[in-house]
Structure 1
Amino acid sequence: MEKKHNKIKFLAKNLARGFFWLAIMLGAYFFVQKHFGFDLKELLGPFYENTAAIYLIFLISETVFGIIPPEFFMFWAVRPGIMELYAQHVAALMLVSYCAGIVGFFIGSKFGGTRFYRYLRRTYLGKVESYFNEYGGFLIVVAAVTPIPFSGVCILIGAVNYNFKKFLWISLTRFLRFIVYAAIIWEANSLS
């Protein structure tokens, strides 16, 4: 019972952290937009309309420890008044993220015993590994829906030879983060 309570507490703490950072990002985005005339289209220049380039950047980010939070790409996907296009972009981003997690799993399973992996583990995955030792496969759920680096967890999960089918099923919770955050971003954008 204590272990289950710890898991729920761990999930709740990281969900709160995720929503806190989302609120900070939304607040900063709208503040800069309102007071400084910030235009994402202008900032991104030729990349703004180059969907393939944006998806490629997202794929690289999601495969390499989630360098850029998915929410930034959701901001890019917003086209005021065109919810269908936004939903299509978010669905594509969800699939890219899920597939990047699978790639991470295979990277971990293939290179888990190498010197390079030991370096990654020491440098980047130490904290994630301690979470895995404490929470097991539940860590996949937490990483899927919170700011804990999903790709790092996927690499670790692959390296410890976690059951692949179980990983695939549990990783579907990644979609929840995208759906909830995308809805919040869309609504916030509609209010601005």
Structure 2
Amino acid sequence: MWYVHIAAIFVKNAAMNTKSNTTRKSRLRLLHQYYSYTGFYSFVGKSIYKAIIPIVIFIIALVCVHFFVIDINDALAYATEHFPPLGVLGMFFASESILGLIPPEIFIAWSSKLAHPYLYLAALATLSYTGGIISYAMGRSIANIPSVFNYLEGSMSKHIKNMRKWGGLLIIVGATLPLPFALSSMAAGIIKFPFKSYLAFGLLRFVRFLVYGVAIFGVM
């Protein structure tokens, strides 16, 4: 009968969905085991811990300057009045294109004092993303210069090794956590990580700036 046929279809679909879910869970379990065995979770934990220390020191120093030297809001207001935005954005872009030496939070705080803070926040995020692309391109170029590649492969050996092991996840970590995004981007370029995939993972850089921007704007 027709209802028996329909019931059989439902049973078949349910069995296929169960098999699909089981396969998906098995793959997730295998990925979890792989990242556990290769030390990805411990690497992220240690990296966050190392990144938190300078951030805490920076915040303490900022508070001391604010209460004992000069009001931070006044200092930022002075910077917005006496330093052209294009010059500040250019400095930020240079930093994000090389090694990300200057914490982006400083520039986000600077943008909070401008007439259109979220517009400048978007500009900072775009420049950071573009700077990462330049770092990636530098990595690809370096891979074709044996002398420079051998030097960087030695100095960045741990990071390059990790990029080969974890690929896209390491790019996500660099894009979202308080770690040098330029370094992850350069390592991705050196190992010739697929460019389209890099661009997709790197888009999370915008999420980081949005979250940090909302937090810093709320405080400032």
TM-score, scaled to structure 1: 0.81
Q: CA deviation at 1:157?
A: 0.8
* Map of 1:103 onto structure 2: 134
The DSSP-based 3-state class of the residue aligned with 1:148 is coil
Matched-pair identity in %:
26
Greater relative contact order (CA < 8 Å, ≥ 6 in sequence): 1
Q: Deviations over 1:88-147 (max 9, x none)?
A: 111100000001111111111122131223323323x23311321332221100111123
Equivalent of 1:3 in 34, 39, 54: 34
- Which aligned pairs between 1:106-121 and structure 2 lie closer than 5 A? 106-114=137-145, 115-121=147-153
Unaligned runs of 5+ residues in structure 1 are none
Query: Does residue 1:176 correspond to 2:207, yes or no?
Result: yes
**Counterpart residue number, 1:59:** 93
Shift of 1:186: 1.4
Q: CA separation in 2, counterparts of 1:34 and 1:7?
A: 40
Provide the C-alpha distance between the structure 2 equivalents of 1:102 and 1:22, rounded to a whole number of angstroms: 25
Q: Which has the larger radius of gyration?
A: 2
Structure 1: which amino acid aligns with 2:154? R
Give the CA deviation at 1:40.
Answer: 2.6
How far is 1:53 from its partner?
0.6
Matched residue count:
184
TM-score, reference length from structure 2? 0.72
Partner of 1:40: 75
Matched residue SS, 2:83: coil
Change (3 A) 1:49 1:18: same
- Does structure 1 retain, via aligned residues, the 8 Å contact 2:167–2:188? no
Which amino acid letter does the alignment assign opposite residue 186 of structure 2?
Answer: I
Moved more, 94-103 or 27-36: 27-36
In structure 2, the partner of 1:75 is 109
Tell me: CA distance 1:22–1:73, structure 2 relative to 1, closer, same or farther (3 Å).
same
The answer for the alignment partner of 2:59 in structure 1 is 26
Aligned-residue Cα RMSD (Å) equals: 2.6
Give distance in 1, aligned partners of 2:218 and 2:167. 35
Distance 1:182 1:21, change over 3 A: farther
Deviations 1:68-91 (A, max 9, x none): 111111121121xx6x72211111
Q: CA deviation at 1:163?
A: 0.8
Please say if residues 66 and 149 of structure 1, whose CA atoms lie closer than 8 Å, have aligned partners that are also in contact: yes
Rounded to whole Å, the distance in 2 between the matches of 1:18 and 1:7 is 16
Change (3 A) 1:100 1:167: same
In structure 2, do the counterparts of structure 1 residues 159 and 130 end up closer, same or farther at CA, with 3 Å as the change threshold?
Answer: closer
Are the equivalent residues in 2 in contact too, given 1:40–1:76 (CA < 8 A)? no
